[in-house]
C-alpha cells in the first residue's frame, strides 16, 4: 500500500477507512463533532429513534389502498394494530409469543385474507396483504413479521 494512502487511513482513525471518521468523540443524540483541525462536522444523530418524531426520515414511500376492498383490509389491519400496540412491548420484554394477537387476527378473518375464496379465505392478493401488513406492523412489528414469514413460506394458490 502506498505511504500516503496508509497515512490518510491512520489520520482517519485506523485501517477501516471511514470506520474512524468519528473515533475519539463522545456522541449523543444531538452531538456536533469537530475534526481534529477544529472544523465542525454535520450534527450527528445516533439513531432515527433519538430524533423528534417530526424530523425522522422515512425513505419508504407511502402507498395508499387503490380499491375499496384493499381499504377494508387495511382498516381491519389498522384496528388490529391499535389492539396489539397495548401489549406488544410487554411481549417483547418477556420474550413471550403473542398468542392473543394471533387469536384476535383469526377472529377478524385477517389470518385467512390471502387464502383463495374457494378454500374459504378472503381471496386477497399478496399486494393487498402487503399493504395491510404495513399498517399492522405499526402496532406490533413482531406479530406482523410472524404473519409475513408464514406468507413467504406458504404463499397462496390464487
**Tens digit of each residue's pLDDT (9 = 90 or more) over 36-82:** 666 555 555 555 555 555 555 555 566 788 899 999 999 999 999 99
Average pLDDT for the chain = 74
Confidence of residue 30 (pLDDT cuts 50, 70, 90): very low
In whole angstroms, give the CA distance from residue 9 to residue 19.
10
Shared domain for 105 and 43, answered yes or no, is no
Shared domain for 133 and 93, answered yes or no, is yes
Shared domain for 148 and 75, answered yes or no, is yes
User: Which range of residues forms the domain containing residue 118?
Assistant: 68-154
Q: How many domains does the chain have?
A: 2
- Assign residue 124 the CATH number of its domain: 1.10.540.10
Shared domain for 8 and 50, answered yes or no, is yes
Shared domain for 43 and 82, answered yes or no, is no
Looking at residue 110, the DSSP 8-state letter turns out to be G
* CB 31, CB 25: distance < 8 Å: yes
Looking at residue 30, the DSSP 8-state letter turns out to be T
Shared domain for 72 and 34, answered yes or no, is no
* CB 43, CB 30: distance < 8 Å: yes
Shared domain for 105 and 30, answered yes or no, is no
Shared domain for 36 and 93, answered yes or no, is no
Give pLDDT, residue 84.
92
The pTM for the full model equals 0.57
Candidates 58, 66, 72; CA nearest to 138 is 58
Shared domain for 44 and 113, answered yes or no, is no
In whole angstroms, give the CA distance from residue 155 to residue 149.
9
Shared domain for 27 and 103, answered yes or no, is no
Q: CA–CA distance from 119 to each of 73, 114, 123, 128, 151 (Å)?
A: 18, 10, 9, 18, 16
Shared domain for 73 and 116, answered yes or no, is yes
Confidence of residue 146 (pLDDT cuts 50, 70, 90): confident
Amino acid at each position: 500500500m502506498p505511504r500516503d494512502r496508509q497515512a490518510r487511513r491512520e489520520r482517519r482513525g485506523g485501517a477501516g477507512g471511514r470506520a474512524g471518521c468519528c473515533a475519539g468523540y463522545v456522541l449523543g443524540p444531538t452531538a456536533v463533532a469537530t475534526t481534529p483541525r477544529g472544523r465542525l462536522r454535520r450534527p450527528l444523530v445516533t439513531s432515527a429513534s433519538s430524533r423528534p418524531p417530526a424530523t425522522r426520515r422515512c425513505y419508504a414511500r407511502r402507498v395508499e389502498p387503490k380499491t375499496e376492498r384493499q381499504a377494508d383490509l387495511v382498516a381491519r389491519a389498522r384496528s388490529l394494530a391499535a389492539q396489539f400496540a397495548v401489549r406488544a412491548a410487554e411481549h417483547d420484554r418477556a420474550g413471550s409469543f403473542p398468542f392473543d394477537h394471533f387469536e384476535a387476527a383469526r377472529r377478524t378473518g385477517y389470518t385467512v385474507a390471502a387464502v383463495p375464496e374457494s378454500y374459504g379465505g378472503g381471496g386477497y392478493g399478496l399486494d393487498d396483504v402487503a399493504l395491510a401488513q404495513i399498517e399492522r406492523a405499526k402496532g406490533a412489528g413482531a406479530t406482523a413479521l410472524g404473519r409475513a414469514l408464514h406468507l413467504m413460506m406458504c404463499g397462496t394458490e390464487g
